[in-house]
Chain A
Amino acid sequence: MAEVLVLVEHDGGQPKKVTAELLTLARHMGEPSAVFLGGEGTYEKAKSFLAEYGPAKIYIGESAEFDDFVVAPKAEVLAQLVATTSARAVLVASSPETREVAARAAVKAGGGVLWDTTDVTGDLVATQGIFGGSTIVTSHVKSGTPFLAVRPNSTSIEPGSGAGVEERIELSISDAAKVAKVLDRVVEAKSGRPELTEAAVVVSGGRGLGAAEGFEVVEKLADSLGAAVGASRAATDAGWYPHQNQVGQTGKTVSPQLYIALGISGAIQHRAGMQTSKTIVAVNKDPEAPIFELADFGVVGDLFNVAPQLTDEVTKRKG
């Protein structure tokens, strides 16, 4: 059976949920192999996670150079691996950095790249929501190896039973791939909450919060639901919440089971990042706010009354 490469999406070795989604999806296309590229000694953290989702093989490349230089080393090694394995396709997570890796690797390998796909069939036909999700297209890569970047949270995970045979990659990273040097990495937002793009529930706040302190209401509701916290650009621009939490065209794209928008008007740029959420709830005091066009359930009212009551109700019903 043809090999399908799945690039492991991870944070310092710790795989993200989307990796399991990609491995599940890859099983319909051929024999999935995981590709782990990370810093020295980081694979250890990925081992048991990968075993659970059963790739046939696991290619492992560990080198400080993956973290020390921007994108190019990963792209180079991934393209080399595509050549040596004659892979049928490559699946990656549609995150900003990984999309860049896939695009560069596709050029090197003489393939094509499709991003933000929400499904891929066994025949490698991809589904994408374009124009902010208003149009659904199917598309395919017509020459060379397809590199398909899949949006997190769009596949339901199933465990797998592949052997997970480990194979170390003989790394040879060219000097040309080592020209944009990373000097330092700074973690700004560590909250203990689930990560925005992976969370099953997202609670977001906008200008309606009125001040940074207003986000307490959002955080309390989020914590009662085990949710991630998002924000509109109006809120991040005002400095009320970190930019990493911005949802929208120039922030993160999320498609959780449940998205709750508090004091967000629903500008087109905001919608572009949350429109594909399965269920949308909105609280806004303006009955004309465009967010209500998207909402499965909306409350016209003051979020400072509605949200705390909801938090109490959720806590009560859970307890």
Chain B
Amino acid sequence: MNIVVTVKQVPDTWAEKKLDPSTMTTDRKNVDNVMNEMDEYGVEEALRIKEAHGGEVTILTMGPEKAVEAIRKALSMGADKAVHLTDESLAGSDAILTSAALAAAIKTLEADIVITSAEASDARGGVMGALLAEQLGLPQLTLARKVTVDPEAKKVTIERQTENGYATAEASMPLVVGVVEKINEPRYPSFKGIMAAKKKPMTVLSASDLGLASVGLDASTTAVDSAEPRPPKSAGQIVKDEGDGGTKVADFLASQKLI
């Protein structure tokens, strides 16, 4: 079974994130970057499927040169190989263009299962799984909190998280699976894993390798016009409970006409 996992490099969760004023896109240069935390769950799920049923796990990342650090992290968790789609012309691609580029790369990989995670911590779109299914014309099993693979029948069944519970959904391979963080507990890379990652095969692709012509900032379907830091909240009032804390909150709520 060929499993492809999309992994994104994002600014560190705790870093102060900014937009680059010249392009109005996320500043990825002047900030510490990490592998998107949620993608660890996708990699973990792929490794579990491989461990149960055999196969090969390929990491797919689109991003600047230094996104290779995120790829290495995924490889050190145990993935077998990686594809790094990197090209100046791809910079600034919005979600739809990114999905077209990732889809073009996936087509070269003969994937049985494509795994994305629900959300990247920078853009928080939560739409990549749906977009990849659309671009590739494959079944969409996203928002999965549980995944069951039947390799003989070439079927995948998931529990899809809904507003008030879940839906059981099923589709045949090849397909796109999107996972939420309830699905598993990602492993930490072992020292052996970290050493082995350095020798694992990595293919670097450019936009023209995939015949991608209209990509990047200018071709994007969306544009950011302005950005302002959120006006600082005026400091709130903090009191110590002297046995009347609840009453004080009630007074505050009443003063704000909230009760």
Residues of A within 8 A of B (CB): 11, 70-72, 75, 95-97, 99-101, 103-104, 106-108, 111-116, 125, 129-131, 133-144, 176, 179-190, 195, 201, 225, 243-244, 249-250, 257-258, 268-269, 272, 279-281, 283, 287, 292, 294-302, 305-314, 317-318
Does any Cβ of A come within 8 Å of B54's Cβ?
no
CA distance A24 to B160 in the complex (A): 31
CA distance A97 to B126 in the complex (A): 9
Contacts of A115 in B (CB 8 A): 124-127
* 9 sampled A-B residue pairs with Cβ under 8 A: A11-B164, A75-B134, A107-B96, A135-B227, A249-B119, A249-B124, A292-B238, A295-B236, A301-B245
Q: Report, as a range, how many residues of chain B touch the other chain.
A: 35 or more
Q: Which residue of A lies closest to B237 (CB)?
A: A297
Contacts of A180 in B (CB 8 A): 133, 139-141, 169-171, 175
B248's partner among A125, A287, A296, A299 (CB-CB below 8 A) is: A299
Query: A115-B127, A306-B246 given. 19 additional CB < 8 A pairs?
Result: A70-B141, A97-B143, A134-B17, A138-B224, A180-B141, A180-B175, A181-B171, A195-B163, A243-B161, A249-B121, A250-B118, A258-B253, A296-B236, A298-B237, A300-B241, A310-B247, A313-B246, A314-B250, A318-B259
B163's partner among A11, A101, A142 (CB-CB below 8 A) is: A11
CA distance A95 to B130 in the complex (A): 14
Does any Cβ of A come within 8 Å of B38's Cβ?
yes
Q: Which 10 pairs show the lowest CB-CB distances between chains A and B? A: A301-B241, A309-B246, A112-B221, A313-B250, A310-B246, A100-B130, A188-B165, A103-B127, A306-B245, A179-B139
Contacts of A116 in B (CB 8 A): 124
Contacts of A100 in B (CB 8 A): 126-127, 129-130, 140, 142
Does any Cβ of A come within 8 Å of B233's Cβ?
yes
Does any Cβ of A come within 8 Å of B153's Cβ?
no
Contacts of A280 in B (CB 8 A): 236
CA distance A177 to B248 in the complex (A): 56
The answer to whether A138 touches B226, judged by C-beta atoms less than 8 angstroms apart, is yes
CA distance A27 to B181 in the complex (A): 38
Q: Which residue of B lies closest to A72 (CB)?
A: B140
Contacts of B241 in A (CB 8 A): 299-302, 305-306
Does any Cβ of A come within 8 Å of B29's Cβ?
no
Does any Cβ of A come within 8 Å of B166's Cβ?
yes
Interface secondary structure of A, over-half rule: mixed
Residues of B within 8 A of A (CB): 13-14, 16-19, 24, 38, 94-96, 99, 118-119, 121-127, 129-131, 133-135, 137-143, 145, 157, 160-172, 175, 180-182, 220-230, 233, 236-241, 243-250, 252-254, 256, 258-259
CA distance A272 to B120 in the complex (A): 12
A305's partner among B19, B220, B245 (CB-CB below 8 A) is: B245
Q: Which residue of A lies closest to B255 (CB)?
A: A297
